[in-house]
């Protein structure tokens, strides 16, 4: 027996519990925690946008909008899971139902293999997120931490300011550490949101790939001879093909529900992500030309995070398409002529359904795939090129 929540999604459970988004937790403390986290994220974006009041050059506008749009991505992800918590819970429950309906040890082994792969993938992303957080939050304040040891004077300490522009309408030198606390808390919540929600959605896609592999396995087993009795053989054929058709139908319905439940959120994420990437690419080149190393590092890190986020979504979307195509080719190349007439008709159902892509539709505009990733990158680069040409 496989328990999806504790065996495959336990790391996601820890991350989402930390920010109040785990759908199985509905206590008053969880609601307070979610409100607080969402409030910190939202207020951080607001205080970035208020910096437009004091901005006096194009570089400042780019710096403000590039970081603000990045954290808008975090807010959209947070809001998507907060509002659709019941849908997330239903998805996990459906995955558990799939696990409960597995028929033999080989099918358990296949799903465990994909679950192990998902856990390794989640651990790698968490480690990368910790390194990213370390660079973006601690590097700017090392002089403050070791100021007394390195004998750095007060003017040098105050010059070491975070590159994310904000305006709190208070004395920023006097309340420097309080402001830094708010900024770092928002960054930690935002990154935890991206990793926790992103890996959970990608985990659902990885499990779909595993279930499609199980579908292919069941199709391969349809014409395996298990009995010399023709009557028994026919019954076994019919039962195997029924199980294959059933799980394939449920997988397609699961994918359709996943896309429809988050369609609006995916659409907003798509627009915000492309806009943020364009602005951060522009900020990276702009700060490189001005010789601003800290600004260059900030925009480079934000651009890297966005490109990685886009690549992973499209990579696993492509994997889902490939696994569905494998089901089609497996059914097409099977020894269907050895099966009964009833089984042959049911194989036709798999061929017809798998001929249509089982995919992740992003906002009703794009299908997650390598082609989609290429299109989004080209769009972002084209916007960056326009901004760069206008700036010159």
Helix (H, G, I), strand (E, B) or coil at 356: coil
CA gap 106, 275 in Å, rounded: 45
Q: What is the pLDDT of residue 154?
A: 47
Which tokens sit at 321? 């398409």
Contact by Cβ (8 Å): 321, 369: yes
Q: What is the pLDDT of residue 336?
A: 63
The position carrying tokens 């991206």 is 194
Contact by Cβ (8 Å): 34, 81: no
User: Who contacts 182 (Cβ-Cβ below 8 Å, separation ≥6)?
Assistant: 40, 43, 44, 47
Q: What is the pLDDT of residue 33?
A: 93
pTM of the entire predicted model: 0.88
Q: What is the pLDDT of residue 158?
A: 47
CA gap 389, 392 in Å, rounded: 5
Q: What is the pLDDT of residue 78?
A: 95
CA gap 204, 319 in Å, rounded: 12
Which tokens sit at 391? 């700036």
Which tokens sit at 344? 């042959």
Q: What is the pLDDT of residue 140?
A: 60
Helix (H, G, I), strand (E, B) or coil at 258: helix
Splitting the chain (392 residues) into consecutive groups of 10 residues, what average pLDDT does each group show?
84 93 86 94 92 74 88 94 91 91 88 93 94 78 54 48 75 82 92 94 93 88 56 63 81 88 89 93 88 84 93 93 85 67 69 71 81 93 87 66
Contact by Cβ (8 Å): 251, 358: yes
Q: What is the pLDDT of residue 6?
A: 83
Q: What is the pLDDT of residue 11?
A: 93
């Amino acid at each position: 027996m496989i328990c999806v929540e504790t065996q495959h999604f336990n790391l996601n459970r820890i991350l989402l519990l930390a920010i109040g988004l785990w759908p199985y937790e509905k206590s008053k403390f969880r609601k307070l925690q979610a409100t607080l986290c969402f409030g910190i994220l939202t207020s951080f974006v607001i205080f970035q946008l208020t910096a437009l009041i004091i901005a006096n050059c194009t570089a400042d506008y780019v710096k403000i909008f590039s970081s603000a749009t990045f954290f808008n991505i975090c807010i959209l992800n947070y809001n998507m899971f907060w509002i659709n918590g019941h849908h997330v819970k239903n998805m996990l429950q459906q995955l558990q139902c799939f696990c409960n309906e597995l028929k033999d040890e080989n099918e358990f082994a296949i799903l465990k293999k994909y679950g192990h792969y998902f856990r390794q993938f989640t651990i790698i992303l968490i480690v990368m997120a910790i390194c990213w957080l370390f660079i973006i939050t601690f590097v700017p304040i090392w002089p403050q931490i070791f100021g007394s040891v390195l004998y750095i004077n007060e003017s040098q300490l105050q010059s070491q300011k975070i590159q994310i522009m904000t305006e709190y309408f208070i004395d920023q030198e006097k309340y420097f550490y309080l402001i830094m606390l708010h900024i770092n808390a928002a960054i930690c919540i935002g990154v935890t949101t991206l990793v926790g929600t992103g890996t959970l959605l990608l985990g659902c896609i990885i499990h779909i790939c595993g279930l499609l592999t199980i579908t292919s396995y069941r199709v391969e087993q349809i014409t395996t001879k298990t009995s010399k009795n023709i009557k028994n053989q026919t019954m076994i054929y019919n039962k195997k093909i029924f199980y294959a058709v059933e799980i394939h139908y449920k997988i397609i319905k699961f994918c359709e529900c996943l896309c429809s439940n988050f369609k609006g959120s995916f659409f907003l994420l798509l627009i915000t992500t492309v806009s943020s990437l364009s602005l951060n690419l522009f900020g990276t080149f702009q700060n490189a030309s001005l010789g601003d190393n800290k600004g260059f590092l900030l925009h480079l890190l934000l651009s890297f995070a966005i490109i990685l986020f886009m690549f992973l979504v499209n990579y696993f979307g492509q994997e889902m398409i490939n696994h569905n195509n494998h089901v089609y080719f497996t059914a097409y190349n099977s020894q269907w002529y050895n099966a009964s007439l009833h089984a042959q008709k049911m194989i036709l159902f798999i061929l017809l359904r798998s001929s249509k892509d089982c995919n992740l539709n992003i906002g009703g505009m794009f299908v997650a795939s390598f082609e989609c990733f290429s299109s989004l990158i080209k769009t972002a680069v084209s916007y960056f090129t326009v901004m760069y040409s206008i700036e010159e």
